Amino acid sequence: MQTATDQRQTASNSASLSPAELQALLAEKDRQLAEREQAIAEHERVIADNQHVISEQQKLLKLLEEQLRLAKQNRFGASSEKLPFQGDFFDEAELEQSLSDVEQQLAEAGEPPRNKPKRKKREGFSDKLPRVRVDIALSDEEKAGASRTFFTKVKEELDIVPAKAQVIEYWQEKAVFEDAHGEQRIQAATRPPHPLGKCIASVQLLAYILVAKYADGLPLYRLEKILARYGGHISRTAMANWIIRLDDVFKPLINLLQEHQRSGDYLQADETRIQVLKEDGKVATSDKWMWLIRGGPPDQPVVLFHYDASRSEEVPSRLLDGFEGVLQADGYAGYNKVCRDNPITRIGCWDHARRKFVEASKAAPKKKKGQPVSKADVAISKIRKLYAIEARIKDLKPEQKTAQRQTLAKPVLADLKDWLQTNATRVPKDSLTSKAIRYTLNQWGLLVGYCDDGRLHISNALAENAIRPFAVGRRNWLFADTSRGAKASATVYSLIETAKANGLEPYDYLRHVLTHIAAADSVERIEALLPWNGRLADSGEESEYMSGTG
């Protein structure tokens, strides 16, 4: 700033300048003024840029905080998708009203009212379990002079016989025959065939190892120690070799199961990671994949696992070759090609859509009393109405389910879609809630497909439940050494989960198969080993493996 004295001095100096010098001076002043204005504008731009950066950083910070809360919840919180605000599944007034509406509409349609579930009492022990009677008798002094005595059952206890190792010795009878010339001929009794030929493990031990590793999630090094405690010293290497060799033994049975599965018109698919250390063209730490397909005739479900080093769209194209019908899976795009190239109708899974909103709800900041619930919670509440309807109509016939879904679920779906479209732009971009909304809207055409057929399920839960034992076991054994081992594991998982899906106890079923598969020299005899065909008519077994708990 020029002082008054400076301004007077400048004016005095200007008076003595020529017009040209005065014009040059004014031009210089204009230039200086323009530079100042430019500097001010640049400063304002820098401030605006900084404010934008700060705003973006604040948004990023909120997203990172959301991810951190979700990571903490996943690591330290409950794994259930049930949220704190939910309480019981039917606890919200809005949901109760929805259920009342469902009941009223079903009553109008002539369906019987739902009985309120009674509190479950502890069930007694299965009558299929063997029983050992223990008599608690009176002493001679106590019953002296009694006209008669009798026993009454006063208690039942569940007992278990711990595993024990034993050696089965096979003694083969041989007969010696002599002909008229004095020459001898020896006739030996036929030895029962073993599925692995020369093998020191009985079929019971093989079934025990398979169930312990693949149904109970015990790695082989633990089984090695368990067997050693019982006196049976078997190395984990020997057990691994037996499992791999059994893959070829089970192959004909797996082929029949695959053919039977494709004879149905409704399949469910899922896939999960597996680490295989020795895979051609892949580093040990790269992801390989275990694929699962579940389906077939409704009363004879088949669960098949398939190992592949790739997750490309070519894998489901190969696995589903020749299938015609409905395929239910999550939103993975790898299933698109096989559905385009074949007469396959694809539907989605509401569990996957709901799970994304559950993650958003768990990652939200802790709500204070009086604050409204988050948009993720609102979406979950609306989705729960769909599950409430499914719970009510689960015992209806397929055609009745279809009609009730059209009447009851379609309005709920329409309301949910309107809410999603309205709120898609009202949540921060790239937030978990935004991703959940976008996923649900992008998958909408597939998610509503279950409404058109009462045989279809609202979610892919049956496939997820079947693949869960593999995921649990993976936490214990961590990886497979070779692709051959991974394929053998897929075979055993297929037999165990198919047995469970058909209500069989896995050990009994595998023992039955191992006992008879070596002698199954025809398609008919292999078909007799399918889970729904019962035991072989000529097996001579005393136990019925069809009495399993599933």
Q: What is residue 65's predicted lDDT score, i.e. its pLDDT?
A: 65
Position 146 pLDDT exceeds 80: yes
Q: What is residue 550's predicted lDDT score, i.e. its pLDDT?
A: 34
Position 208 pLDDT exceeds 60: yes
Position 337 pLDDT exceeds 50: yes
pLDDT, mean of residues 150-171: 91
* Cβ partners under 8 Å of residue 349, min gap 6: 328, 329, 330, 447, 459, 460, 461
- Tell me the two tokens of residue 176: 């010696």
Higher pLDDT, 332 or 79: 332
**pLDDT range class, residue 547, cuts 50, 70, 90:** very low
**pLDDT range class, residue 484, cuts 50, 70, 90:** very high
Burial-class residue 465 by CB neighbours within 10 Å (0-12, 13-18, 19+): middle
Q: What is residue 546's predicted lDDT score, i.e. its pLDDT?
A: 39
Pick from 48-52, 373-377, 488-492: least confident: 48-52
Q: Where are the domains of the chain?
A: 174-248+504-547, 350-459
Q: What is residue 447's predicted lDDT score, i.e. its pLDDT?
A: 95
Q: What Cα–Cα distance (Å) separates residue 187 from each residue in 24, 116, 172, 176, 457?
A: 131, 70, 10, 6, 60
**C-alpha–C-alpha distance, residues 129 and 276, integer Å:** 41
pLDDT, mean of residues 192-205: 94
Q: What is residue 295's predicted lDDT score, i.e. its pLDDT?
A: 95
Tell me the CA end-to-end span of the chain in Å, nearest whole number.
93
Q: pTM of the prediction?
A: 0.78
pLDDT, mean of residues 506-517: 95
The dihedral region occupied by 295, where left means phi > 0, alpha psi between -120 and 50, and beta the remainder, is: left
* Cβ partners under 8 Å of residue 168, min gap 6: 202
Q: What is residue 472's predicted lDDT score, i.e. its pLDDT?
A: 87
pLDDT, mean of residues 123-151: 90
CB-based contact 451:409 (threshold 8 Å): yes
Q: What is residue 40's predicted lDDT score, i.e. its pLDDT?
A: 86
Looking at the chain, the whole-number percentage of residues with pLDDT higher than 90 is: 56
Bridge pairing between strands 480-482 and 288-295: unpaired
Q: What is the pLDDT of residues 89-134, one digit of tens each?
A: 334 455 555 566 666 666 665 655 555 555 566 677 888 889 999 9
Beta-bridge partners for 303: 294
pLDDT, mean of residues 440-457: 94
Q: What is residue 508's predicted lDDT score, i.e. its pLDDT?
A: 94
pLDDT, mean of residues 316-321: 92
Beta-bridge partners for 269: 293
**C-alpha–C-alpha distance, residues 464 and 288, integer Å:** 18
Q: What is residue 405's predicted lDDT score, i.e. its pLDDT?
A: 92
Which residue stretches of 196-335 are H helix?
A: 203-214, 220-229, 236-262, 314-319
Average pLDDT, the chain: 84
**C-alpha–C-alpha distance, residues 486 and 477, integer Å:** 12
Position 459 pLDDT exceeds 70: yes
Q: What is residue 540's predicted lDDT score, i.e. its pLDDT?
A: 42
**C-alpha–C-alpha distance, residues 483 and 277, integer Å:** 8
Q: What is residue 52's predicted lDDT score, i.e. its pLDDT?
A: 75
Q: What is residue 285's predicted lDDT score, i.e. its pLDDT?
A: 83
CB-based contact 477:209 (threshold 8 Å): no
**pLDDT range class, residue 363, cuts 50, 70, 90:** confident
- Tell me the two tokens of residue 60: 């990023």
Position 507 pLDDT exceeds 80: yes
Helix and strand counts by DSSP (H, E) for the chain: 18, 9
Nearest to 486 by CA among 282, 187, 326: 282
Position 545 pLDDT exceeds 60: no
Beta-bridge partners for 270: 292
